[in-house]
Structure 1
Amino acid sequence: MSYAIPRGTQDILPGQSEKWQRIEALIHDLCRRYNYKEIRTPMFEQTELFARGVGDTTDIVQKEMYTFKDRGDRSLTLRPEGTASVVRSFVENKMHGLPDQPVKLYYTGPMFRYERPQSGRMRQFVQFGVEALGSADPQIDGEVLALAMDFYKEIGLQNVKLVINSLGDKDSRTAHKEALISHFKPRINEFCSDCQSRLEKNPLRILDCKKDRDHELMGTAPSILDYLNDASKEYFEHVQKALESMGIAYVIDPTLVRGLDYYNNTAFEIMLEGDGFGAITTLAGGGRYNGLVEEIGGPETPGIGFALSIERVLMALEAQQVELQTVNQLDVYLVSLGDEPKDKTPEIIHSLRAQGISCDTDYMDKKMKAQMKAANRQQAKYVFILGEDELDQQSVMVKEMATGEQTLVPLATIMSDAASIVTT
């Protein structure tokens, strides 16, 4: 019987995994500079957490979650996104009581959604996200957006566009909700069943519908910007000022609606412009979610965050033909010739690795010519050759592959100070 990988998943093989490592290293360094601390949460949670945190009118909760019963008959769900888990941890571990506020967190890890696999959409995918919890200052919104934009800039992508909108505070959203209901209700029977069920619960989600996006009522729907009260308008203006002060260009799109129920005030997406990336141009999305912490059982706590897919980053890099600088060159390949030199090989290899030098050797009893070919394939900077003659002289022949230059080096030097010879 043969086995195949589950649909919507992927194996990340050597040659590709180095690119993932490079992206992850950038994430860790960027978040260090912004003073965001890493958090790691379980890959499954109680189902109710996502129903309450993500929103029971969303496609994620209604159609896409991997939900199962454990042996204790408890309903558990593989996490479809990261924010709800982070907020749950924030509440459970009483991080709202920490002296340093806001609490600034970031995460990377696999998420799971049961949807039709296509380019840029996997059933298991990896997200990088940040959450800033505890501050209602619009400048923290600016900081979160700047972090996201800096990530794409430093990874080397061009033509990246920031699109922002305001969904308003609770009062603004209530007024807008009533206007949307009045707008869509007379012809709601022309919309899909999902939109019909959302009309009373969350009509804003109708604007995010992919099936009915070309319906004429979509283009004439009331804009949230026309229903912002003075406080929401002022907040949005301060976010824009923060972006402008940092020299970050943006576009305001009053039709931008995030797909999760918990967003309010600032909402944003980062898009890739230009050909070669396919129909789905969104790279990242996020926004402010005042009220989510209370929904999950914590005290009143404002928050803002974003998430992005690493798979889509790699797609964008490929579309723009950006080559990530990865470290996959071997420092040393040790060629051994004869039984006694081969017996000495484990000791030498172990010593080199202890000195911080990456190295490998032959384990297939190949002849010297084949071993040299293996060293070339692995792009070894140096080849150390240990034969009977070298062992008798307690030396190793060191060949620099770039120049072809060969030098006989005492074995004692190799074992104690190989770094003086090998430029890693």
Structure 2
Amino acid sequence: MRDTVLKVENVYKVFGKRPAEAVRRLKTGASRSEVAGLGTAAVINASFQVKAGEIFVVMGLSGSGKSTLLRTLNGLQPATAGSVTVQGTDLSTVSDKELRAVRQRQISMVFQHFALFPHRTVLENAAYGLEVQGMAKSERLEAAAKVLELVGLGSWGSRYPSELSGGMQQRVGLARALASETDILLMDEAFSALDPLIRREMQEQLVTLQQDLGKTIIFITHDLNEAMFLGDRIAVMKDGEIIQIGTPDDILSHPANDYVAQFVQDVDRTRVLTAASVMEPARSVVTLTGGPRGALRTMRDLQTSAAFVVDRRRTFLGTVTDRDVMALVEQRSPDLAPAIRPGNPVDGETALAQLFGMAVESPVPLPVTDASGRLIGAVPRVTLLAALGNVPSSTTDIPVVDAPPPPLPEPLVTATLDSSARAGDPA
């Protein structure tokens, strides 16, 4: 189980002449507007924990308080009330010197507008955090050069920021944060100034780097699709308050209120929902040891014309159709293996966007397997389409669209419904 590296407990941040009085009234039920005369309540009673190696996204519209919340996490804007604990250190209890040490050793920040020094080279900018830490010049430049390689700028170290595109400049900012070797990265709208294509490229690179380096990232954005793509969990903010915290699938499928529901209604679901989130139980499943007659009997009882084949450990082996199995029965073959066709199983974490081509080409629902190759469910084409349209995924009323195959001899009459036309397939 991953350790908690950052804990936020009942944090308030109020700007104004009487912030303590504003917090007192907020705690007794006053609204943000009711305390406006005392100060501006930017963050109201925020609480959450972030685990090691997690990408935690704080999402909200302008004025929701997300950037102010981020700045309380490294003490740039100390909380008016509540506590922020970073790897066991309560920021409200440390001296200014100790707080600076926390920023240097434990938390790095990547800004929206790059914040590069124009008179320093790319390599010198990337090494700046190490310079602040007091590392010798040769060592910090060597370390920075390695990180520039990670972000794809290994050959640009001698250039100046003005010679780089916006996306490349943001890579330098990211490299500077990574070079500091802190465990936690704070990223405030880090990609919002980039063109859409470059922004998408940076998002993908961030996910790759996080997987390779295991950094803990708190990422601020107003872009829902970006939040859904990056976040292991997402906190949705409105008027200074956290409305809902959950996985992208939780936020999309089970919004806490109408505000969140409206917020997510236009999200690109193909980038968020996964095979595991829309799959149905695999109904038509046969074992290899059951032989052709056992497989045909199962398909007859379930009124399907295809089935998934598994071994005794439920490891997915492939699919069979009633026609192929019937041919083995007529040959009096006891072995089901010759009828098995590859089933192109997908991992449960596969995004729906990657399933369309596979689903169109597959005559049966897409089998979903776990990391051990065991069958855990299936995604019929109609369920895939229903998930995209946010409608119920039940497909039992889908009509038969193909003609049935010729009758089979008794007592081995099996179903005639084409598996691609109903959810009663091996799904």
Query: Same fold judged by TM-score > 0.5?
Result: no
Q: TM-score range by the shorter chain?
A: under 0.3
Structure 1-normalised TM-score?
0.22
